[in-house]
């Protein structure tokens, strides 16, 4: 399928707040960079990048309401922290509003916040791009992750998940099971490579 990236950018400009739109452009750019570096389809990576936050502009109540309306499953953790639903709802909109049929793109959008075990190349690229795109404020470990992402996707994923879990624990936030499972999986991948 052919994608019109300018059309998708224009669509996101209309539905996202300006700072979220700038973030989405940064994710699109970073996805393209990582795709070129790792030999992945640059256009598919950009489509995932520009659309990944298509449902980010909604309040928690609205995310819950829209997911119920479209019969999108809601876990207990997502009920507690509805912002996690923007990935699932965003994938739904990518398909229903923006014509994305490619299942790999849709899955990457679903898991771009939580990660998951055994991520595809595109899921890794989008997950990391969302975390490290140029407009992200500098946090501890970000510089290292930005370097790792261009040399070793799995180690960059592991390091990102490690940092994310430490941050969530320090804030006493509920941790999505998928993120914990992803961390354990990539910890095993990295330990097996050593």
Per-residue pLDDT tens over the stretch 156-182: 999 999 999 999 899 888 889 999 999
Q: How confident is the model at residue 22 (pLDDT cuts 50, 70, 90)?
A: very high
User: So where are the chain's domains?
Assistant: 5-137
Per the prediction, the chain carries an average pLDDT of 96
Between 88 and 175, the higher pLDDT residue: 88
Q: Which CATH class is domain 5-137?
A: mainly alpha
For 174, half-sphere exposure in the C-beta direction (CA atoms, 13 angstrom radius) is 12
Show Cβ contacts of residue 160 under 8 Å, excluding neighbours closer than 6 positions.
Answer: 115, 127, 128, 131, 132, 145
Buried b (16+ CB within 10 A) or exposed e, 13-23: eebbeeeebeb
Can you give the pLDDT at residue 109? 98
Per-residue pLDDT tens over the stretch 96-114: 999 999 999 999 999 999 9
Per-residue pLDDT tens over the stretch 116-172: 999 999 999 999 999 999 999 988 899 999 999 999 999 999 999 999 999 989 988
pLDDT for 84 beyond 90: yes
pLDDT for 194 beyond 70: no
Structure token pair of residue 122: 């595109």
DSSP per-residue letters across 42-110: HHHHHHHHHHTTTTTTS-HHHHHHHHHHTT----HHHHHSGGGGHHHHHHHHHHHTT----HHHHHHHH
Per-residue pLDDT tens over the stretch 42-55: 999 999 999 999 99
Give yes or no for a contact between 108 and 27, defined as CB atoms under 8 angstroms apart: no
Rounded to 5°, angle at Cα 103 from 79 and 115: 45
Distance separating alpha carbons of residues 149 and 194, to the nearest angstrom? 18
Give the residue-averaged pLDDT of 59-76: 97
The percentage of the chain sitting over the pLDDT mark of 90, rounded to a whole number, equals 92
Give yes or no for a contact between 159 and 141, defined as CB atoms under 8 angstroms apart: yes
């Amino acid at each position: 399928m052919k994608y019109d990236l300018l059309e998708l950018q224009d669509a996101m400009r209309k539905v996202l707040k300006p700072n979220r739109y700038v973030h989405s452009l940064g994710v699109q750019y970073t996805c393209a960079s990582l795709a070129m570096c790792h030999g992945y389809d640059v256009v598919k990576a950009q489509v995932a990048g520009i659309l990944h936050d298509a449902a980010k502009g909604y309040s928690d109540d609205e995310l819950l309401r829209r997911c119920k309306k479209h019969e999108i499953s809601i876990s207990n953790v997502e009920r507690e922290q509805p912002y996690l639903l923007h990935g699932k709802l965003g994938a739904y909109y990518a398909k229903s509003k923006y014509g994305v049929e490619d299942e790999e793109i849709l899955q990457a959008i679903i898991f771009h916040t939580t990660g998951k075990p055994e991520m595809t190349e595109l899921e890794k690229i989008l997950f990391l791009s969302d975390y490290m795109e140029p407009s992200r404020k500098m946090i501890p470990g970000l510089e290292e992750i930005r370097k790792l992402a261009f040399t070793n996707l799995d180690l960059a994923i592991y390091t990102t998940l490690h940092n994310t879990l430490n941050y969530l624990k320090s804030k006493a936030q509920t941790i999505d099971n998928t993120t914990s499972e992803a961390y354990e999986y990539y910890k095993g991948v990295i330990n097996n490579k050593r």
